[in-house]
């Protein structure tokens, strides 16, 4: 299982796919500690696509090596069409346009143009930048984590969309947090009983990991029955056992399963 620090480094704040080619960085210079998985997530592609585009990298990376970033192959599900695909980022001390662009896997010139500044313009700490490709960054995270913990990626993506439209900044009226809409006590339970280490559900990568592991755990209890897994995720197993399915639980099951059936990539290229 990848460590939180590896995924965090790969994602920056939250990798860019299915966005205009003028936005996505076309090359990447390997830094010490980089892995193919890290680089693929950051740029919204797959390890297989990186290997295919860069002969020999499957046998190892070296610092300073320049990689070609292939055209994005990790397409966004059709149900994301029409959704605003930007997020904001608060500049940290010492950061410049190029550092922020590298963090998010986007082209520095396109990032500067999106914010009406030059690529060499000084950035003030605390200033907000508009970063394109929010959906693709989250799509890459959801897909990568689902594969890593061996859960159907379509299920993880659909649950996350139904819960939050893939937004980490969403907090429900009951206190459920982030992309997978986890209650703090649920995050604590997953940390104690599944991962054996503390997961911070206020951080996107930990939130997705906790939700994906919970789906895997519940699915195992229900022999992989997707409808039963969704009911337990939404309503809770004890409640389902004692009270049966609530009407809103049935609606939730139908919605998530419909999203899964619509999970076909769509091209967003300009």
Which parts of the chain sit beneath pLDDT 70? 1-25, 71-74, 265-270
Q: Tokens 């990376």 map to which residue? A: 61
- pLDDT tens digits along 180-225: 999 999 999 999 999 999 999 999 999 999 999 999 999 999 999 9
CATH fold for the domain made of 136-264? Lysozyme (1.10.530)
Q: Is the dihedral of CA 39, 41, 47, 48 positive or negative?
A: negative
Residue-level pLDDT at 3: 42
Residue-level pLDDT at 164: 97
CATH of domain 4-74: 3.10.350.10
The C-alpha atoms of residue 31 and residue 42 are separated, in whole angstroms, by: 13
The C-alpha atoms of residue 166 and residue 79 are separated, in whole angstroms, by: 12
Residue-level pLDDT at 260: 97
Q: Which CATH superfamily is domain 86-132 in?
A: LysM domain (3.10.350.10)
DSSP 45-105: --HHHHHHHSTTGGG---TT-EEEPPPP-SPEEGGGTTS--EEEEEPPTT--HHHHHHHHT
pTM of the model: 0.80
Start and end residues for every CATH 1.10.530.10 domain found in the chain: 136-264
Start and end residues for every CATH 3.10.350.10 domain found in the chain: 4-74, 86-132
What percentage of residues in the chain have a pLDDT greater than 70?
A: 87
Residue-level pLDDT at 4: 42
Residue-level pLDDT at 15: 36
- pLDDT tens digits along 246-256: 999 999 999 99
Residue-level pLDDT at 26: 78
The two tokens of residue 74 are 């990790």
């Amino acid at each position: 299982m990848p460590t939180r620090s590896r995924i965090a480094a790969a994602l920056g704040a939250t990798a860019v796919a299915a966005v205009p080619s003028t936005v996505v960085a076309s090359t990447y210079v390997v830094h010490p500690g980089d892995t193919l998985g890290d680089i693929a997530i950051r740029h919204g592609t797959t390890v297989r696509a990186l290997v295919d585009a860069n002969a020999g990298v499957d046998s190892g990376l070296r610092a300073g090596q320049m990689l070609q970033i292939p055209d994005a192959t990790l397409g966004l599900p059709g149900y994301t069409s029409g959704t605003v695909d930007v997020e904001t980022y608060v500049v940290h001390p010492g950061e410049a346009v190029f550092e922020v662009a590298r963090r998010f896997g986007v082209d520095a010139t396109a990032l500067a143009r999106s914010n009406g500044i030059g690529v060499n313009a000084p950035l003030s700490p605390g200033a907000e930048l508009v970063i394109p490709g929010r959906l693709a960054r989250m799509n890459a995270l959801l897909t990568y984590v689902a594969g890593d913990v061996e859960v159907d990626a379509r299920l993880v993506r659909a649950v996350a969309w139904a819960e939050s439209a893939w937004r980490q900044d969403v907090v429900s009226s009951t206190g459920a947090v982030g992309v997978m809409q986890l209650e703090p006590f649920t995050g604590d339970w997953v940390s104690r009983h599944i991962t054996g280490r503390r997961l911070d559900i206020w951080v996107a990568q930990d939130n997705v990991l906790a939700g994906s592991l919970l789906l895997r755990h519940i699915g195992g209890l229900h022999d992989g029955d997707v409808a039963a897994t969704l009911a337990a995720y939404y309503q809770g197993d004890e409640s389902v056992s004692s009270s049966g399915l609530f009407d809103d639980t049935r609606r939730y099951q139908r919605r998530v399963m419909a999203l899964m059936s619509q999970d076909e990539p769509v091209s967003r290229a300009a």
